[in-house]
């Protein structure tokens, strides 16, 4: 297993420089790799016989799952078929006729929501209609058909998978592995300890600021709708992103993002010097951003339907459809100049009326595609929550100080001050609740569970860690500082994607409930592995913590490994449903498997690392490197289809 982990790691590095096709031929598809996996299967069988594992059902299931999973993969390779077919409208192949291909868009936008092939299927003498789209496959004549690609001529490309033996055998192995790990986890945890894990399953100095609109008027401006990043959202969302890109924060000198946007729009001379403060690397991008604003090109405020009834969103200088009346044409073309005139006069009441008229125009022309009032309210509230990096740094600082103090107390046989513990607990409750509020608001505003990007996954991980810390702190005082410190690092990483980044639409392939389950379970396992790492550090520093830390570490190890295995298998099921392949040796998949192998060693009772506290602490400390590479190394260095930066 050690050799397998080393080979897998080497394969991801070679893929970075030689490409996926080369690695598929020289690593994962080579004869020596097949022999290596065969030795793993034989080793598992030998372990069952030598260890008489039929007396230990959980271990028997885990060891039996390994050769079964590998056999399933071999059967997929030997007997499975994977190919593609391209159909033009009216063309028939394999009993399947393409009637038409359609791209579905998010309401009122040109952002793809799904890709659908409308087909008819001949089953003997009967003919039935069917739709093939992302995450919605067609089963016909023992084969599975997936939406793969399309072209401008209306032709569609379908992936075809035929794997009658490999999939059932592999899924059987998955089931045995999960049952065995769950059985092992429950058997190692006392009811009281198991109950503790149930939550898993369930400003700067003021300076003279440039002129801008009053906060109330600017807020009224932010209530209008706009088309931004392929979705209809409050103008406040665009203002927040605009301000963040220019200044690095969602506010500036105590001014709201709407005030910053309106300042550049109506008082450019006052705000132009701010562009000189932007770092040289972002000068060109920032100036282009402001230029698009001043020209009106970035403010797509006006929904207009063309002669075919297709609704589009237009800026004041865009080419408008011929369906626009003369009055509407003048209103669209001259609205910015009229607003500028009212600003010069200081008639903010009239200016707010103009904003109301534009919003009324939007609601009249695009009533069927505008987001609901609840979603808009949630998004505006979310946009107002601009925490910045200070919250992450505060949590890290408090976590380090609390961690050091807890170690000092343990070394002297003392307990943490009651009032300090109450204060820190209150902070952790407030912080976890705040992060949960952000999660809920992004869910409501986006219309989907927010788990698809770097910010969302780290925010979810921070929430899980907060829940774990609160659940364990009564019996294990070290859980409080560890959770605070961990949340701080999670927030710091999340802020790399921007403080509270704007809500976005999901890519079609991500519109699957399995995505949410996959990410949530994986993040839970990573949170537990981080706890194990911090427990390892504490155990190496303080000899007084070794007994209690060793027990706590062993308690958390079993559910952590089970959750990681569950998350990997859910991802495999999702991939099979979406693409027809449950395993593709992508770097993210490979490193998740390496991490599972790494953390499986301390589960084995015959190894000293599972029996001796110091070795256990040292192992857990360095084992977390595999998690870091899986999450960050793949995203930032190794690449692959699972990598993302925001």
Written as one string, the DSSP assignment of 373-442 is HHHHHHHHHHHH----HHHHHHHHHHHHHHHHHHHHHHHTT----HHHHHHHHHHHHHHHHHHHHHHHHH
> Has residue 597 been placed in a domain?
no
Same domain, 252 and 356: yes
Contact by Cβ (8 Å): 531, 556: yes
> Has residue 92 been placed in a domain?
yes
Position 545 scores a pLDDT of 77
> Has residue 333 been placed in a domain?
yes
Task: Pick the range with the lowest mean pLDDT from 202-206, 427-431, 611-615.
Answer: 202-206
Position 37 scores a pLDDT of 93
Position 646 scores a pLDDT of 37
3-state secondary structure of 465: helix
Same domain, 363 and 241: yes
Contacts of residue 594, defined as CB under 8 A and 6 or more positions apart, other chains included, come to: 5, 8, 9, 626, 630
Contacts of residue 597, defined as CB under 8 A and 6 or more positions apart, other chains included, come to: 1, 4, 5
- Tokens 């904003």 belong to 355
Same domain, 353 and 398: no
Position 197 scores a pLDDT of 52
Same domain, 342 and 219: yes
Position 639 scores a pLDDT of 55
> Has residue 254 been placed in a domain?
yes
Mean of the per-residue pLDDT values of the chain:
84
Comparison of pLDDT for 392 and 276, the residue scoring more? 392
Q: Is the pLDDT reported for residue 119 higher than 50?
A: yes
Q: Is the pLDDT reported for residue 644 higher than 50?
A: no
211-249 pLDDT tens trace: 899 999 999 999 999 998 888 999 999 999 888 888 878
Distance CA 542, CA 429 (A): 27
User: Which of 126-140, 157-171, 568-582 is the most confident on average?
Assistant: 157-171
Domain boundary among 328, 344, 370: 370
Domain boundary among 506, 529, 562: 506
Q: Which long-range CB contacts under 8 A does 42-46 form with residues at least 24 apart?
A: 42/67
Q: Is the pLDDT reported for residue 476 higher than 90?
A: no
> Has residue 521 been placed in a domain?
no
Contact by Cβ (8 Å): 266, 339: yes
Count other Cβ atoms within 10 Å, centred on residue 219. Answer: 18
Range of the domain at 467: 388-506
Same domain, 242 and 287: yes
Same domain, 250 and 306: yes
Same domain, 228 and 311: yes
Q: How many domains does the chain have?
A: 3
**At 501, is the pLDDT very low, low, confident or very high (cuts 50, 70, 90)?**
low
How wide is the angle at C-alpha 71 spanned by C-alphas 68 and 73, nearest 5°?
A: 115
Same domain, 365 and 266: yes
Mean pLDDT score, 436-463 = 83
Position 302 scores a pLDDT of 92
Closest CA to 156 of 164, 165, 148: 148
Distance CA 636, CA 484 (A): 26
Structure token pair of residue 52: 């008489």
Domain boundary among 162, 179, 195: 162
Same domain, 366 and 393: no
Distance CA 127, CA 136 (A): 19
> Has residue 606 been placed in a domain?
no
**At 141, is the pLDDT very low, low, confident or very high (cuts 50, 70, 90)?**
confident
In Å, what is the CA distance from 465 to each residue of 42, 101, 281, 620? 39, 45, 36, 17
Same domain, 338 and 235: yes
Same domain, 249 and 313: yes
Same domain, 366 and 399: no
Mean pLDDT score, 573-600 = 87
Q: What is the share, in percent, of the chain residues with pLDDT greater than 70?
A: 90
**pTM as predicted:** 0.70
Comparison of pLDDT for 84 and 420, the residue scoring more? 84
Q: Is the pLDDT reported for residue 201 higher than 70?
A: no
């Amino acid at each position: 297993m050690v050799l397998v982990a080393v080979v897998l790691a080497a394969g991801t590095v070679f893929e970075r420089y030689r490409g996926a096709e080369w690695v598929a031929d020289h690593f994962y598809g080579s004869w020596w790799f097949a022999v290596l996996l065969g030795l793993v299967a034989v080793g598992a069988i030998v372990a069952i016989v030598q260890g008489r594992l039929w007396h230990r059902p959980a271990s028997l299931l885990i060891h039996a799952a390994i050769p079964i999973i590998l056999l399933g993969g071999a059967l997929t390779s030997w007997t499975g078929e994977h190919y593609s077919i391209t159909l033009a409208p009216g063309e028939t192949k394999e009993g399947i006729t393409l009637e038409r291909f359609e791209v579905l868009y998010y309401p009122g936008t040109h952002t793809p929501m799904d890709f659908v092939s409308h087909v008819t299927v001949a089953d003997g003498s009967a003919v039935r209609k069917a739709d093939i789209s992302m995450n919605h496959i067609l089963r016909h004549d023992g084969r599975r058909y997936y939406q793969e690609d399309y072209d401008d001529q209306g032709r569609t490309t379908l992936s075809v998978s035929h794997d009658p033996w490999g999939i059932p055998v592999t899924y059987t192995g998955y089931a045995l592995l999960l049952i065995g790990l769950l059985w092992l986890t429950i058997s190692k945890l006392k009811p009281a300890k198991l109950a503790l894990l149930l939550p898993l399953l369930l400003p700067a100095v003021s300076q003279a600021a440039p002129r801008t609109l009053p906060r109330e008027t600017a807020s009224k401006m932010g209530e209008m709708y706009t088309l931004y990043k392929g979705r209809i959202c409050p103008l406040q969302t665009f203002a927040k992103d605009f301000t963040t890109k220019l200044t690095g924060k969602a506010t500036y000198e105590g001014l709201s993002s709407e005030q910053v946007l309106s300042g550049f729009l109506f008082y450019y001379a006052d705000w132009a010097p701010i562009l000189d403060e932007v770092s040289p690397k972002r000068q060109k991008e920032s100036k282009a951003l402001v230029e698009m604003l001043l020209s009106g090109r970035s403010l797509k405020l006006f929904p207009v339907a063309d002669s075919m009834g297709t609704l589009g969103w237009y800026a004041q200088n865009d080419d408008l459809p011929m369906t626009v009346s003369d009055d509407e044409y003048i209103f669209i073309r001259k609205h910015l100049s009229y607003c500028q005139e009212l600003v010069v006069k200081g008639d903010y009441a009239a200016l707010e009326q103009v904003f109301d008229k534009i919003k009324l125009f939007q609601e009249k022309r695009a009533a069927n595609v505008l987001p609901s009032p609840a979603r808009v309210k949630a998004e505006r509230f979310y946009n107002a929550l601009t925490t910045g990096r200070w919250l992450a740094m505060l949590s890290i600082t408090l976590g380090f100080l609390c961690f050091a103090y807890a170690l000092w107390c343990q070394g002297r046989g003392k307990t943490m001050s009651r009032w300090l513990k109450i204060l820190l607990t209150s902070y952790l409750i407030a912080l976890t609740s705040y992060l949960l509020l952000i999660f809920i608001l992004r869910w409501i505003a986006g219309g989907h569970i927010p788990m698809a990007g770097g910010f969302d996954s780290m925010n979810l991980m921070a929430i899980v860690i907060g829940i774990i810390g609160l659940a364990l702190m009564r019996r294990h005082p070290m859980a409080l500082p560890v959770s605070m410190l961990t949340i701080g690092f999670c927030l710091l990483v999340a802020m790399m994607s921007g403080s509270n980044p704007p809500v976005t639409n999901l890519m079609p392939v991500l519109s699957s409930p399995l995505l949410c389950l996959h990410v949530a379970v994986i993040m839970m396992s990573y949170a537990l592995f981080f706890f194990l790492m911090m427990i390892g550090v504490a155990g190496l520093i303080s000899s007084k913590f070794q007994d209690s830390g060793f027990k706590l570490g062993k308690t958390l190890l079993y559910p952590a490994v089970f959750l990681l295995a569950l998350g990997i298998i859910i991802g495999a099921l999702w991939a099979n449903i979406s693409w027809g392949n449950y395993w593709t040796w992508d770097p993210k998949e490979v490193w998740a498997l390496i991490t599972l192998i790494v953390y499986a060693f301390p589960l084995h009772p015959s190894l000293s690392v599972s029996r001796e506290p110091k070795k256990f602490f040292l192992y857990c400390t360095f084992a977390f490197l595999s998690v870091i590479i899986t999450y960050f190394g793949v995203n930032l260095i190794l690449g692959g289809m699972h990598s993302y930066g925001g």
